[in-house]
Amino acid sequence: MAKKTMADVDVKGKRVLMRVDFNVPIEEGRITDDRRIVQAMPTIKAVLERGGRLILMSHLGRPKKGPEDKYSLRPVAEHLRKLVNECKAVPDPHTPGRNVTDLHVMRDPDEKLAEGHSNVIFAEDCIGPQVEKAASELRDGDVLLLENLRFHAEEEKNDPNFAKQLAKLGDVYVNDAFGTAHREHASTFGVPQAMQGKPRVIGFLIQKELKFLGDAIGNPQRPFVAILGGAKVSDKINVIQKLLDKADTLLIGGAMAYTFFLAQGKRVGRSLVERDKVELANNLMQKGADKIKLPVDTVIASEMTDEAQTQVVEGDVPDDMEGFDIGPNTCKAYRDEILKARTIIWNGPMGVFEKEPFEDGTQEIAEAVAQATEQNDAISIIGGGDSAAAIEKFGLADRVSHVSTGGGASLEFLENGHFSTLDILD
């Protein structure tokens, strides 16, 4: 997907309307994980370093009945203000050797900010006269963060009038929210349509996502190993079918493995399975007999708690027990496959890694992926969602090639190779 990026647009003195994904966890008004904000900073700082007037729009959570305090982006504005004004130089991704410096260099160092005026401003809504006024009064180097888009039901409905009101705010449109790029919402689809004739480009985060995921599917270095886990076969049917044509090996883990076991005629006890997908699992195994690898042992327990007493079994799971993780022999077999790989895609944990008795399988796989990246120069892509949470939990995010910012988005991109929201951009 060859797309123009923000680096291809002159933003000096222009209002840049950027869709970001600031859907971050907030507890008691405090952001507990700012990874998604930090990952948007290269594009944000590059706009501001060029003298753009930045307007950021995002969603947060799933509000059902209009505005709710717990879903307000106000805490994000406070956190963003700190990040934006940090004096640490951030590498400029489009000009080697150059840095995106602190925003205050955009203005005369002796200039005083007007009373009540900050270079990061929070809007109480995302549309309406007050928002339009705030956008029109922005100065070069200012940031305006709009309130949660989903406080308006029209956002998820891609309402054209709502999209037009948002589109009025900008002279340039930038999409840098990979995590929502697979959704045809107003901010991702209707707004760029309404801004036809104006520059409509992607940010550096989406550029990075498209490069890693696009290269992995279109031109992978081999051997190409795909690791798929999570709860349901139904969530990953299309990805499995796609990867059977692309990958050399598919390693299956997580609860979805028990549906495959059922298809093999094994007893699975109380393990989570999709009985209506057994025939599908059987068809997939027949089609990918030479590629699909299933666990050879499994960690079982009678309950999913931090204090659970575990056993390792090969074959059948007793009727009163449940499988929660891949076993040590599976870890060793999967590790051997991973350490031979030159391209690795991982989407979905191997077990209930949030609980200590069932974290070993996911941690072993994470460490193997990191080792393959460092020792074999393998390209390793962690497909967002729970896989990203796991790689962060085990402190390995910096030892893999790329951690995707979109769980569902990365799956859809692996399936289809494009998004309609990006197809319409320049």
In sequence order, what DSSP letters do the residues of 239-273 get, joined into one string?
A: HHHHHHHH-SEEEE-STHHHHHHHHTT--BTT---
Whole-number mean pLDDT of the chain? 89
What residue has token string 């790689």?
391
110 — pLDDT class (breaks 50, 70, 90): very low
Residue 231 has what pLDDT? 81
Higher pLDDT, 12 or 218: 12
Under CATH, which number does the domain 6-206 receive?
Answer: 3.40.50.1260
- On the question of pLDDT at 329 being above 80, the answer is yes
Question: Any catalytic annotation for residue 417?
Answer: no
Task: Compute the C-alpha angle 261/267/272, nearest 5°.
Answer: 65
**pLDDT value, residue 75:** 95
| Residue partners of 165: CB distance under 8 A and separation at least 6 | 127, 128
pLDDT at 344 over 70: yes
Q: Is the pLDDT of residue 87 over 60?
A: no
% of the chain at pLDDT higher than 90: 74
232 is catalytic: yes
| Mean pLDDT (whole number) for 265-280 | 92
Q: Decide if pLDDT at 86 tops 50.
A: yes
The span from the CA of 45 to the CA of 126, in Å, is: 22
Which of these is catalytic: 141, 230, 385, 406?
Answer: 385
The pLDDT value recorded for residue 213 is 87
**Average pLDDT for residues 172-196, to the nearest whole number?**
96
Range of lowest pLDDT (115-129, 130-144, 357-371) = 115-129
Asked whether residue 111 carries a pLDDT value surpassing 80, the answer given is no
Show the CA angle centred on residue 425, arms to residues 23 and 162, nearest 5°.
55
Going by pLDDT thresholds of 50, 70 and 90, the confidence category of residue 153 is: very high
pTM of the entire structure? 0.83
Q: Do domains 6-206 and 220-415 have the same CATH topology?
A: yes
Q: Which of 36, 45, 50, 200 is catalytic?
A: 36
pLDDT tens for 390-407 read: 999 999 999 999 998 887
Mean pLDDT of 174-198: 96
Coil/strand/helix, residue 347: strand
pLDDT in tens, 350-397: 999 999 999 999 999 999 999 999 999 999 999 878 888 899 999 999
Q: Give start and end residues of each alpha helix (H) in 118-268.
A: 129-136, 160-167, 191-194, 204-218, 237-246, 256-263
232, 340, 355, 393: the active-site residue: 232
Residue spans of alpha helices (H) in 288-349: 328-338
Mean pLDDT score, 131-137: 95
335 is catalytic: no
Domain ranges of the chain: 6-206, 220-415
Distance CA 66, CA 162 (A): 15
How high is the pLDDT of residue 1?
63
- For range 219-233, the mean pLDDT: 90
Q: Give the mean pLDDT of 22-39.
A: 90
* Length of the chain in terms of residues written: 426
Active site residue 36: yes
| Residue 115 C-beta-side C-alpha neighbours within 13 Å | 0
Worst-scoring range by mean pLDDT, 84-88, 103-107, 157-161?
103-107
> Mean pLDDT throughout 130-158?
96
For domain 220-415, give the CATH superfamily: Phosphoglycerate kinase, N-terminal domain (3.40.50.1260)
The residue ranking higher by pLDDT, 217 or 267, is: 267
Q: What is the pLDDT of residues 293-328, one digit of tens each?
A: 999 999 999 999 999 999 999 989 999 999 999 999
Question: Is 114 a residue whose pLDDT tops 60?
Answer: no
